[in-house]
Amino acid sequence: MTVCHKAFKVSSDKHKPMFHDVTDQVKEIIANSGVRNGTVTVYSQHTTCSIMIQEESHDTTYDGTKFLLQDLLDMFHNIIPQCSREGQYLHPGPEHIKHAVGNLGEEAVWSLNTDAHLRSCLMGRSETIPIVDGKAELGEFGQIYFIDFDSVRKRDRVVHVQVMGE
Amino acid sequence: MTVCHKAFKVSSDKHKPMFHDVTDQVKEIIANSGVRNGTVTVYSQHTTCSIMIQEESHDTTYDGTKFLLQDLLDMFHNIIPQCSREGQYLHPGPEHIKHAVGNLGEEAVWSLNTDAHLRSCLMGRSETIPIVDGKAELGEFGQIYFIDFDSVRKRDRVVHVQVMGE
Amino acid sequence: MTVCHKAFKVSSDKHKPMFHDVTDQVKEIIANSGVRNGTVTVYSQHTTCSIMIQEESHDTTYDGTKFLLQDLLDMFHNIIPQCSREGQYLHPGPEHIKHAVGNLGEEAVWSLNTDAHLRSCLMGRSETIPIVDGKAELGEFGQIYFIDFDSVRKRDRVVHVQVMGE
């Protein structure tokens, strides 16, 4: 049995939810692991990020977002609107701000990411994909995205890839 | 360690999202694998399909859909309405249609499945279930469904089942 | 290869969806399994419950619910309202009630948990987390919750934890 863990960084540098296509990195990690049959789990430890498998949609918006991904954001805009001020959601409350500012040295506005916490837990933190004959079963069109729903600040994020099998 | 992959087809032949009960097939694959303890991952490579575990709800609508499954469709109708024409969602855009019609030989209307892409990524592409003493932990009432949210055309779909353990 | 399955109970005793923090139990099961590298799958066999990873939000409502968790319930209140009477959703229908009352000896009102079935299948039944160097990759702030969306009656629930690796 082989267990192979790799982690790599992506850089979220826009003030907008970002979709990082990590398909090539995942495929390379599988190839290097030597695993021919098993599973790969792509995972986010960040509670404002998600993993999603989605089709290539070719067209992009003026700011470079693929149409199908912008459609997803538009849907979320309706059910979980972007958090723009305190009081819009319950979180962040005064104790959380005290902790974030006082203990972690963060700016208070960085905690206005309640929308990202809710969107990402609804999407889920991981995807597990079968590996058959050395390849992830993604079909012709499947692409793996690491979604960073948190748009309040620029920062690096960690993508975890766990390959298990033989 | 045993890794056992099986794939089988289901046929989506209605112009409506379909719920294929694949519980028996998954149980049989587990039994044949010889795995007594491990996990089974039921997975869709199609980006308009999902895997769901849900209870038997006994009653059915006039068209044969179980009540609880129709309730799920009704909920989706509100947050991600059925795609019936271009322009309702951003996707499919002109580049996607050019690719689908020109390169893949598809009909343009087949790409009006944006609702299915959004619904299925929200539900997720897989479920991973513990196997204990040779059986998937589904409780008394759990059933495994392969959901085909794409209702624009009839076609066969592939269900992937990956059993890992010993 | 090691496969280690443990199950434990949590007690849902409020007439409100409950979030059981099971992080410590999962960490202890991983430690006792001896697995240094692999995955842990936290899973619910109950079709009205889910597993979620979420951040600590510090502040709590008057009834003791963390702010971020109440925000999640508020969102669900909008898209999948609490089921309070028959006819609000299709499920439960007459055949289901006949089965629940006649065969299982349940009270009819216990089946008014359609909201819980829909919310929980949208959230998903499990989370799979990489184990690296003997620890689940939860980051600084990640906590694992077992969510019981079913608020119609008090009862014990089973949490399944499957550790696989070496």
Reported as a single tens digit per residue, the pLDDT across C70-120 is: 999 999 999 999 999 999 999 999 999 999 999 999 999 999 999 999 999
d(CA C159, CA C149): 14
d(CA A106, CA A108): 6
B52-72 residue pLDDT tens: 999 999 999 999 999 999 999
Q: Is B137 within 8 Å of C43 when comparing Cβ atoms?
A: yes
Q: Which residues of C touch B70 (CB under 8 A)?
A: 90
Residue B31 is predicted with a pLDDT of 98
Mean pLDDT of C147-159: 95
Are the beta carbons of A137 and A37 closer than 8 angstroms? Answer: no
Question: What is the length of chain B?
Answer: 166
d(CA C14, CA C12): 6
Using alpha carbons, select from C134, C133, C148, C131 the residue that is nearest to residue C22: C148
Write down the H helix ranges in C6-159. Answer: 23-33, 67-79, 94-97, 114-123
Using alpha carbons, select from A12, A37, A23 the residue that is nearest to residue A127: A23
Residue C15 is predicted with a pLDDT of 84
Both structure tokens of C128: 């799979």
Q: Is A122 within 8 Å of C127 when comparing Cβ atoms?
A: no
Both structure tokens of B102: 């020109």
* Per-residue pLDDT band at C160 (split at 50, 70, 90): very high
Cα angle for residues A35, A38, A40 (degrees, 5° grid): 90
* Per-residue pLDDT band at B109 (split at 50, 70, 90): very high
- What is the arrangement of strands in the sheet containing B142-148, beginning at the earlier edge strand? B18-21, B142-148, B49-55
Residue B140 is predicted with a pLDDT of 82
A113-144 residue pLDDT tens: 999 999 999 999 999 999 999 999 998 889 99
* Per-residue pLDDT band at B15 (split at 50, 70, 90): confident
* Per-residue pLDDT band at B104 (split at 50, 70, 90): very high
Q: Which residues of A touch B98 (CB under 8 A)?
A: 58
Residue A14 is predicted with a pLDDT of 79
d(CA C76, CA C81): 7
Angstroms from C160 CA to nearest CA on chain A: 18
Classify burial at B80, counting beta carbons within 10 Å of its beta carbon; exposed 0-12, middle 13-18, buried 19 or more.
buried
C13-22 residue pLDDT tens: 888 999 999 9
Tell me the pairing of strands B126-132 and B38-44: antiparallel
With a cut of 70, list the residues of chain A below it in pLDDT: none
Both structure tokens of C151: 């608020």
Mean pLDDT of C132-150: 95
* Per-residue pLDDT band at C123 (split at 50, 70, 90): very high
Q: Which residues of A touch C61 (CB under 8 A)?
A: 90
Cα angle for residues C8, C10, C14 (degrees, 5° grid): 170
List the single best residue of B52, B72, B74, B144 to mutate versus C (max C Cβ within 10 A): B72
Residue A140 is predicted with a pLDDT of 82
- pLDDT at residue B35 tops 90: yes
d(CA B92, CA B96): 6
Mean pLDDT of B146-150: 97
